[in-house]
Amino acid sequence: QKEVEQNSGPLSVPEGAIASLNCTYSDRGSQSFFWYRQYSGKSPELIMFIYSNGDKEDGRFTAQLNKASQYVSLLIRDSQPSDSATYLCAVNDGNTPLVFGKGTRLSVIA
Amino acid sequence: DTEVTQTPKHLVMGMTNKKSLKCEQHMGHRAMYWYKQKAKKPPELMFVYSYEKLSINESVPSRFSPECPNSSLLNLHLHALQPEDSALYLCASSYYNEQFFGPGTRLTVL
């Protein structure tokens, strides 16, 4: 059974701080890693994906992947109240459907 | 453009009704998906279409019937649903691995 684990939160950070969201996965054959942001009552929005070990930056977001440790993270710099949402980690091996974690609820306090 | 559209936005139906959900994308994506999402849970995969053929059915009850009339359209036909089927129904599409969700249909079964 392929599993993706996330801390459900809530993770509370002050405005302007760095929010760090973590995800571990069980399948060593996983090749693709995704972060989705989901606001309450809305659909998931793809905000980052990463395929190789290391860091990938896009604006205030940085995804970090460590395949040896089976660990992927999302850093949000200069967190804003508008970043308050549930963040879903999703993983697959490139041939099978995405496996989602249960999501981490982030609350950015103004 | 990474837009997936879904209609209707909201749907209320009785247990004896027949209704359909519609999903459309014009990004040339060859894989399309139906998910069901309950509150505070991750999306749960229902069906996958690849090149207009049903490739995955996650043991979904027969009261849900998917249809892919062409490469841009995906329907979900609903019949004799139960109140526990009330949820957010999400359509998604992908070209390779990056999967994009539509806004969803909020379904309430009375």
CB of A21 within 8 A of CB of A106?
A: yes
Q: With contacts defined as CB-CB under 8 Å, which chain B residues touch A56? A: none
Per-residue pLDDT 10s for chain B (110 aa) are: 569 999 999 999 999 999 999 999 999 999 999 999 999 999 999 999 999 999 999 999 999 999 999 999 999 999 999 999 999 999 999 988 899 999 999 999 99
Which pLDDT does position A95 carry in this prediction? 80
A18 at B interface, C-beta within 8 A: no
Q: In chain A, what are the helix, strand and coil shares in percent, each to the nearest 5?
A: 5, 55, 45
pLDDT by residue (tens digit) across A23-75? 999 999 999 999 999 999 999 999 999 999 999 999 999 999 999 999 999 99
Written as one string, the DSSP assignment of B44-59 is EEEEEEETTEEEEE-S
C-alpha distances in Å from residue B62, one per residue of A15, A53, B33, B57, B105: 48, 42, 17, 10, 19
Query: Among A44, A40, A34, A105, which residue's Cα sits nearest to residue A73?
Result: A34
Q: With contacts defined as CB-CB under 8 Å, which chain B residues touch A88? A: 42-43
